[in-house]
Chain A
Amino acid sequence: MTEPIVNDLTIQAATVNGSGSQTANLVLTRAIFKMGVPVAPKNVFPSNIEGLPTWYQLRVTPEGYMARSDRVDILVAFNAATWRDDLGTVRPGGVVIHEESYSTADARTDVTYYAVPFSKLAKSKIPNETLRKQLANMIYVGVVAGVLSIPWEAIEHGVKRQFLSKPKAVQVNLDAVKVGLDYWQDNFSKQDPYRLEPMTGVVEGKALVEGNQAAALGALMGGVTVAAWYPITPSSSLCEYLIAYSDRFRTDAKTGEKRIAVVQAEDELAAVGMAIGASWAGARAMTSTSGPGISLMAEFAGLAYYAEVPVVIFDIQRIGPSTGLPTRTSQGDISFAYTISHGDTKHLVLLPGTVEECYEFGRDAFDYADRFQTAVFVLSDLDLGMNLWMTPSFSYPDKPFDRGKVLSKADLEKLGGEWGRYQDVDGDGITYRTLPGTDHPSAGYFTRGSGHDEHARYTERADAYARNMDRLSKKFETARKALPAPVTDESAGSAIGLIAFGSTNAAVVEARQTLVEAGRPVDYMRLRALPLSVEVAEFVERHEHVYVVEQNRDGQMFDLIKLALPPDLTGRLRSIRHYDGQPIPAEAITEPLLQSEAVAI
């Protein structure tokens, strides 16, 4: 046998969706995580309820890399329909755990096969007929545990953790795992080099959290009180988590009263309308959607911009155009979200790059919306939103809500009732508003998406229109300085820089390490908001070549950066794009970058 390969492997479970395989995959994930071994799961699922192929990739690295990898070390083949294709994805020397009945005639000879009679075992060893199909998946957990030497305590933890709310299910599931483990021990001897060993140093203090869970918690901590949504993958779980968390934390145990309204709207258009109406009336309000949803929200987004109503819009991006691939990831809404709506409209966009930032930005987005009285888009994506990520615990907020410039009754009395809704008193472009219900005769004003002057009166005057638009620009410039600044690491001291954002960060982190090993260390700037910080141009100025990495076809962020640069710097930009719907792997950065730099030399 070759050198053992410890804690550095990728398991790919190829199953049929709707069959209960996701539970088995999660048990495996949690068991390995319990060993102190870093995990990075990626669920590749179809837009379907039951019967189509689905893959779960569980990557394990001692470094704790969280990007997807194209490399498959261990295949669990549980889907006859994709068996031959799946077999082709395994790297030479890899392991194939497969249903015994799948033919291996003329199959590859450079992999190790463990053929297991899963169906027969399920039939003979799982007495519960109604649960048999689901529990059959747990048998492969047992086989994998056997192959990789996962301790039984870790498996027990994984099953218990997975069935926290259904403790009765724990034993039957453990029994099913045991069936697989016993079969492996009784019938096989270890033929492959892969092994998992308990380790320390990376996962301590970390949790496994989905970005949508983090964003829901963030919204709750940010004080959201009205959320309206329309179901759409991959955003639905955000509001579903919000509902679950609200049932627990925002419901009066005695009266049943809720300190939040979560409304499932009739469409995304109504969803954002409800959020804008609620924000106008003074609540912290949000909606959550994905690409097709923000397309429908375009007109309302313009109203929020022009009438200056705060609203938080989560866009969990999926691949487009049109329906696209509803269950595949993308960063394709960048330029659209930034300027969505007709006329001279532009928006504040937050770009969380980790689940921790999904929490922080999900929370702080409400402060930005109130402070700047405008729409704030939080652009996550399917990879970040729906997969589990290792993360440090989130920090408790250290500052109170920033409700922005709101005049109370007392303020109005002090002003003698003299104020203008769209008057730039402070010179920062941000004006004062009042909320409906403010008991002062001069509190009321008329909010409209049509032309208005400083006192919110309808006007078609050219000078008033232009003045207002210029002030809105000024407000945007104020926001540019206040939004989360890029995170920059120039410790490599390299002439090459890399700019990325959002979930691409995971691949960049890994790629930078590979590039160090290849003798091509690179500096890194991670963008966290639009409009772009002035630091971006400074970063480009300090580097000869700057690669903008993103997950869309057209290099949308590349274009935005190019527009923001002085002409003499634009030639330094290079574009690296990944857009097949799968989360970007590190190789998709290192390979084109090394190739380009080789030519450059």
Chain B
Amino acid sequence: MSATLNRVGLPRDAYKGAATTLCAGCGHNSITNHMIKALYELGIEPHLLAKMSGIGCSSKTPAYFVETAHGFNGVHGRMPSLTTGAQLANRQLIMLGVSGDGDTASIGLGQFMHMIRRNIDCTYIIEDNGTYGLTKGQFSATADLGSVQKKGAVNTFQPIDPCAVALALGCSFVARSFSGDGKQVVPLIKAAIAHRGTAVLDIISPCVTFNDHDGSTKSYSWVKDHEESIADVSFIPFFEEVHVDYEPGTVRDVTLHDGSHILLKKLGEDHDPNDRRAAMHVIEEGRAAGHLVTGLLYVDPDSDDFATTEHIPSTPLKDLAEGQLRLTQDEFAQFMSEFA
């Protein structure tokens, strides 16, 4: 049986990576599979993909998809700066960052925030399990107040909500999802990649070993019971035509700068994804009600990314030759004479 090829002529297997070394049942492995599906269906050319990560369980996962792409597993909490530099060096790269809650909300909070402020063109996925897995189960900064550790300790600190932080900083794309909800995660990953600017996607991803017990608010059962999706998300890439039948007023259509569409089908109350204050409100309401609100919270499809505001040419800076970088002999001589 021949495999179905995508628009760049690659089978789904071309998007696989090395075998995972994470625990069986880890939410991160589901996200890896969602990633493979999204990248395959989008027809991303592996050589243009740059997989970036920091340190932790989540940050290992770029090794587990698109093995032929370049990846960079840097230092803890500093993936945003590496991503910023790589993006500036070559604007043609598709920057895909994978981080965790410790990597993002604790050691890397500063870089996370400044990446958002600059609106670096990248997808930033947080595989959020509220715990430090590799170091055996300490609370992370996204753990909810009152949530209970495996050995019984109760978290006494307020959580840092990466989505609320991102919104406060004017992030141009903010979404939340659940690793077990592939129908929602896959279109959100696609939309995040298509979006020009920083796209933050906080995916609650249960840690089966250290944070999947009663009293945890990041367990499979808790999230399944408390997830409240604000809209059904579907993504139509620019190379496909939109032909969806829906009743007027039930679906919002967001057109991204590359011509792709995000279709949002109303579930309960209508949420306008272009309204940042409404997004904040939705998060706060959910929190007050003890729900986990998921879906596309906010998007500004017209935002300019950092390289654009910095006037960086589309030709990769790395490809500029001596002639485009050095002063000419005449310019050099003139310049030196000005020091005399």
Given contacts A221-B326, A259-B317, A280-B72, whether A300 and B50 have CB atoms under 8 Å apart is no
Given contacts A263-B88, A436-B93, A450-B73, whether A250 and B110 have CB atoms under 8 Å apart is no
A residues 424-454 with Cβ under 8 Å of B? 434-450
Q: Which residues of B contact A265 (CB under 8 A)?
A: 81, 114
Least CB separation from A436: chain B residue: B70
Per-position 1/0 for B66-101, Cβ under 8 A of A: 111111111100101111111111101100000000
Our pick among B48, B75, B332 for the contact of A299 (Cβ within 8 Å) is: B75
CB <8 Å contact, A448 and B73: yes
> B152-160, B249-257, B307-315: which one contacts chain A?
B307-315
Our pick among A276, A283, A441 for the contact of B46 (Cβ within 8 Å) is: A441
- B318, CB-defined interface residue at 8 Å: yes
Least CB separation from B110: chain A residue: A266
CB <8 Å contact, A447 and B73: yes
> A62-70, A312-320, A394-402, A503-511: which one contacts chain B?
A394-402
CB <8 Å contact, B47 and A270: no
Least CB separation from B17: chain A residue: A446
Docked CA distance A183–B85 (Å): 58
Our pick among B18, B84, B325, B326 for the contact of A277 (Cβ within 8 Å) is: B84
- B4, CB-defined interface residue at 8 Å: no
CB <8 Å contact, A283 and B329: no
Docked CA distance A228–B92 (Å): 20
- B111, CB-defined interface residue at 8 Å: yes
- B335, CB-defined interface residue at 8 Å: yes
- A594, CB-defined interface residue at 8 Å: no
Docked CA distance A391–B89 (Å): 34
Least Cβ distance of A170 to chain B in Å? 17
Docked CA distance A24–B51 (Å): 55
CB <8 Å contact, A397 and B47: no
CB <8 Å contact, A256 and B311: yes
- B339, CB-defined interface residue at 8 Å: yes
- A337, CB-defined interface residue at 8 Å: no
- B316, CB-defined interface residue at 8 Å: yes
Q: Which residues of B contact A397 (CB under 8 A)?
A: 326
CB <8 Å contact, A225 and B68: no
Given contacts A282-B316, A283-B318, A436-B93, whether A249 and B81 have CB atoms under 8 Å apart is no
Given contacts A258-B312, A270-B111, A445-B70, whether A396 and B332 have CB atoms under 8 Å apart is yes
Given contacts A259-B313, A261-B317, A394-B336, whether A274 and B47 have CB atoms under 8 Å apart is no
Q: Which residues of A contact B63 (CB under 8 A)?
A: 446, 458
CB <8 Å contact, A250 and B67: no
Q: Which residues of A contact B68 (CB under 8 A)?
A: 441-444
CB <8 Å contact, A281 and B331: no
A residues 269-304 with Cβ under 8 Å of B? 269-283, 285, 299-300, 303
Q: Which residues of B contact A447 (CB under 8 A)?
A: 70-73
CB <8 Å contact, A270 and B50: no
Our pick among B69, B72, B93, B335 for the contact of A217 (Cβ within 8 Å) is: B335
A residues 174-220 with Cβ under 8 Å of B? 206-209, 213, 217, 220
Least Cβ distance of B258 to chain A in Å? 19
CB <8 Å contact, A303 and B311: no
Least Cβ distance of A481 to chain B in Å? 26
- A587, CB-defined interface residue at 8 Å: no
Least Cβ distance of A193 to chain B in Å? 31
CB <8 Å contact, A228 and B47: no
- B2, CB-defined interface residue at 8 Å: no
- B135, CB-defined interface residue at 8 Å: no
CB <8 Å contact, B322 and A400: yes
CB <8 Å contact, A436 and B86: yes
- A257, CB-defined interface residue at 8 Å: yes
Docked CA distance A400–B321 (Å): 10
- B327, CB-defined interface residue at 8 Å: yes
CB <8 Å contact, B114 and A270: yes
Least Cβ distance of A546 to chain B in Å? 36
- B340, CB-defined interface residue at 8 Å: yes
CB <8 Å contact, B50 and A225: no
CB <8 Å contact, A257 and B311: yes
- A260, CB-defined interface residue at 8 Å: yes
Least Cβ distance of A261 to chain B in Å? 4
- A226, CB-defined interface residue at 8 Å: yes
Docked CA distance A208–B336 (Å): 10
Our pick among A164, A273, A283 for the contact of B88 (Cβ within 8 Å) is: A283
Least Cβ distance of A297 to chain B in Å? 11
Given contacts A220-B327, A257-B313, A281-B93, whether A273 and B336 have CB atoms under 8 Å apart is no
- B320, CB-defined interface residue at 8 Å: yes
- A267, CB-defined interface residue at 8 Å: yes
CB <8 Å contact, B85 and A280: yes
- B62, CB-defined interface residue at 8 Å: yes
Q: Which residues of B contact A256 (CB under 8 A)?
A: 311
A residues 376-427 with Cβ under 8 Å of B? 393-394, 396-397, 400-401
Least Cβ distance of B173 to chain A in Å? 21
Our pick among B111, B316, B319 for the contact of A273 (Cβ within 8 Å) is: B111
Q: Which residues of A contact B46 (CB under 8 A)?
A: 441, 444
23 CB contacts below 8 A, A to B, read A221-B326, A221-B327, A223-B326, A225-B317, A259-B313, A259-B317, A259-B325, A261-B88, A261-B310, A266-B111, A273-B81, A273-B84, A279-B89, A280-B82, A281-B89, A282-B319, A283-B85, A283-B318, A434-B70, A435-B318, A437-B316, A444-B66, A444-B71
B→A interface (CB under 8 Å): 18, 45-48, 50, 52, 62-63, 66-75, 78, 80-90, 92-93, 110-111, 114, 118, 307, 310-313, 316-320, 322, 324-327, 329, 331-333, 335-336, 338-340
Question: Which 8 pairs across A and B sit closest by C-beta, in order of nearness?
Answer: A273-B81, A277-B85, A282-B318, A278-B85, A283-B89, A277-B82, A207-B339, A281-B89
A223-B322, A446-B63, A448-B72 given; 11 more Cβ-contact pairs under 8 Å = A226-B88, A257-B311, A257-B313, A263-B118, A267-B110, A281-B93, A283-B89, A300-B78, A303-B74, A401-B322, A449-B73
A→B interface (CB under 8 Å): 164, 206-209, 213, 217, 220-221, 223, 225-226, 228, 249-252, 255-261, 263, 265-267, 269-283, 285, 299-300, 303, 393-394, 396-397, 400-401, 434-450, 457-458
